[in-house]
Amino acid sequence: MEAVETKKRPTTRLVRATVVAAASLALASVLAAGQTPERRASAKSHPTLMAMGKRVLGARPLAMYYYYPDERGIESLRARAGEMTALGPQTFRVEADGVVRGEVPAQVMEIARGSGLPLMPLVVNPGFDRRTASAVLRDPHAQERAATYLAYLAKRDDYVGWQLDLENIDPRDKALYTRFARRVAAKLHADGRLLSIAVVPRFSDRYPDPRALHRGATEFRTSEWGAPFDFRALGQIADFLVLMTYDHHSNATPPGPVAGHEWISQALKYAVRRVPPSRIVMGLPFYGREWVQTADARLSRPLAFNDLQLLLQRPGVEVQWDTRWRAPWFQYQEGAEVHTIWFDDRRSFKEKLDLIRQFRLRGFAAWRLGTEDPEFWSVAAEMSKKLVPVARQPARVSRRKASAGSASRSR
């Protein structure tokens, strides 16, 4: 999951200096007055904020879509905003000292506000740099600074909440990441806002898992990227977790599906034993992937739908269906190069989305707008009609009300 097109692993864009400076000055004035953003919050959440929170948590399915700045993403957002539960722009980063920088582009804000679409931006460690993540997590002051920035920015710009998307975390920082998530959640919940956390799939509580190594179970083995996520603890802290069930195969592996059905199923089986299904959102990739094998090397690149169509139009291409992974693929040769392409179509999207019903999940989160097959939207609409409401969890609400003091949250 290494490229911009493959969910969420780009180097985040720098924001305009004037915007950063304005945000920093505003936050500095808050801190200088001895007040953190949550202390300034009113005793009751704003009615619009409450409505946005209820829209997100009451949706069945919760249909979250990710946005990364490009023109095709804007076009898709403008055309389909009314079919979304929440929008997750990946436009913020946390620095090593805990300062959060970024902005939601004005055009995205305009479309979201015009359609009443709740915004839940992502905050990442830039380029998923491990040293940056460790610097934040191992410094209590940096943790507090980051949490305070997030609460302040959400209040200033009317975000329904945030999604933490720190990745490539040192497995030794597992407990520290849980502590950081708890710190952020406390500040957001006190102001009536939401927290979601993106987590990499796990298949075992142990890392490394000697049993998986012994069995040769390379398909279903917890990776170093998944090791820092304590599903049980994070599932109690966050309003929901996004299980990033993609990059089953990548540029670091031989050709195969980006998100094979059996691989997703095994990841979900692990997750639902540790987190209530109603707090799990299944990640869904819109992109495919092409591998090019030469005599000397194997290269790979992600494919958006438009790029895929060009390859499908090549003479002699015959699409195959893999019965194990329930995904389409094809192969062709060009000179000495062998090209192998795996992707999703209407049939495979339908099979993946049916896992939401089978596991009684909260919904899905799709990476990313502008890369999707247009057929997806009708498949998602058909799936939504088959779902029944997810049971509420009043015990969870009461715990939060107790921790938030006089602040109230609407479920």
Crossing angle of helices 71-80 and 106-115, in 10° steps, is 10
Indicate if the pLDDT at residue 256 is higher than 80.
yes
Cβ-based neighbours of 88, under 8 Å, separated by 6 or more: 64, 65, 66, 67, 120, 121, 122, 163, 365
Averaged pLDDT, 207-215:
70
Average the pLDDT over each of 19-23, 234-238, 250-254 and give the range with the smallest value: 19-23
pLDDT of residue 29: 45
Q: 46 - beta bridge partners? A: none
**Which domains are seen in the chain, by residue range?**
17-287+345-403 (3.20.20.80)
Distance CA 9, CA 168 (A): 10
How does pLDDT run across 108-129, given as a tens digit for each residue?
Answer: 999 999 999 999 999 999 999 9
Cβ-based neighbours of 43, under 8 Å, separated by 6 or more: 406, 407, 408
CA Rg, the chain, in Å?
21
Average per-residue pLDDT in the chain?
A: 87
Distance CA 270, CA 212 (A): 14
Question: Can you say whether the dihedral through the CA atoms of 80, 369, 168, 203 is positive or negative?
Answer: positive
Indicate if the pLDDT at residue 301 is higher than 90.
yes
2 vs 240 pLDDT, higher one: 240
Averaged pLDDT, 151-170:
98
54 vs 399 pLDDT, higher one: 54
pTM: 0.86
How does pLDDT run across 312-350, given as a tens digit for each residue?
Answer: 999 999 999 999 999 999 999 999 999 999 999 999 999
Contact in structure between 288 and 256 (CB atoms under 8 Å): no
pLDDT of residue 47: 77
pLDDT of residue 409: 32
How does pLDDT run across 40-84, given as a tens digit for each residue?
Answer: 333 345 779 999 999 999 999 999 999 999 999 999 999 999 999
Averaged pLDDT, 26-30:
49
Indicate if the pLDDT at residue 287 is higher than 90.
yes
Indicate if the pLDDT at residue 142 is higher than 90.
yes
